[in-house]
Amino acid sequence: MTRVDAFSMQWTAENIAEYETRFAAADVWSNAMLRTWRPGRALDLSDLVSDREFEMSYLHNEFFRVIGDDTYRTLALPSQARWGKGNIGFHRGKSSKGFDADIVKRLDFHAGHLGCLLAARARLAAADGANATYKEMFDRLGQAVLLVRSDCKILHGNAVAEHMLAAGVAVRQSQGKLLAMASEAERPLIEAVARVSVAGGFPAESILLPLRGGKAIQATLVPVQNGPFSRHVMIIIPIAESGDPSIEPRLRKLYGLSGAEAAIAAGLAEGSTIRELADLRGTSIHTVRLQAKRVLEKLGCRRQSEVVRLIKQIAPVHPPSSG
């Protein structure tokens, strides 16, 4: 896999992405460098690829010329580490003279420092990639996940948490701190966070967060170690409304339900009655009862309450963000 971590010329993000996906594998310079791999030593790629070969290449004709890049010469400094192979490239246009022996010698002199720079950039890029992966992982959870300090200062929050804070569902944010929407729950939340954050203290705790209309949801507080003597607190809050768009197709796949049966099962799990489901689907109560009976049979349940409990055990999934 080829990745461009930085480029000093006027390549756009689209140019870089196009190079990585369409042209990297056909890059005559990179392929020649890999065939004569000499990490830690400067390499004038014109010694490996003739002008004629470069001018006839797919990279030159379909990429460089198309985007208006006159790159014609490259001086490379290959480097290798546990993350793989890479290089720092220095480029010149066709109207510029090539790299002479003195320049190659000077680059060789600084090869060790530049190699360390390349390795550091690669580690940072890997960390960025890992962070993006972790963020996507938590964003896909159908529950709000927040990481707070002992004083309730919010450090991180996934997409569902950001939505809940913006909408004022159960919790809110004030001066960067997490607070309960209901005044009677503010002090219990603050005290619970303080208890869980103490090193050697509570392994986990739960607290009820009131909602509008008299209902409440249960938040779980779990310690996250932050050094040997302190802990942050991860707060997990289930979404107040179900609305998981993936639940019906997952029920169909897991239990062999038809589309109508999966919709009935999901509706029952959300608290709808047989009559409400019949009205919503524009069908008779008798039909919905028959479908509900088949749901019970396929899920191996004897009561509707067992169906609800089973479906609630299936982890909800939040749709990926469009950004």
pLDDT tens track, the chain, 323 positions: 555 555 555 788 888 889 888 998 889 999 999 998 888 888 899 999 999 999 999 999 999 999 989 899 998 888 876 667 877 888 888 888 888 888 888 887 777 776 676 667 667 666 666 777 777 777 777 688 999 999 999 999 988 888 888 888 889 999 999 999 999 999 999 999 999 998 776 778 889 998 877 788 889 999 998 877 778 999 998 875 545 667 888 888 889 999 999 999 988 888 889 998 888 888 899 999 999 999 999 999 999 899 988 887 776 655 555 54
| Tokens of residue 256, six digits | 């062999």
147 — phi, psi (to 5°)?
A: -115, 125
* The pairing of beta strand 71-81 with beta strand 43-44: antiparallel
| Tokens of residue 32, six digits | 């020649």
Tokens 């608290």 appear where?
271
Residues ≥6 apart with Cβ < 8 Å to 316: 141, 142, 143, 238, 239, 242, 244, 246, 247
**Distance (Å, whole) CA 252 – CA 276:** 22
User: How many helices (H) does the chain have, and how many strands (E)?
Assistant: 14, 10
Q: Biggest alpha carbon distance in the chain?
A: 90
**Distance (Å, whole) CA 224 – CA 209:** 21
pTM over 0.95: no
Quote the DSSP letter at residue 63: I
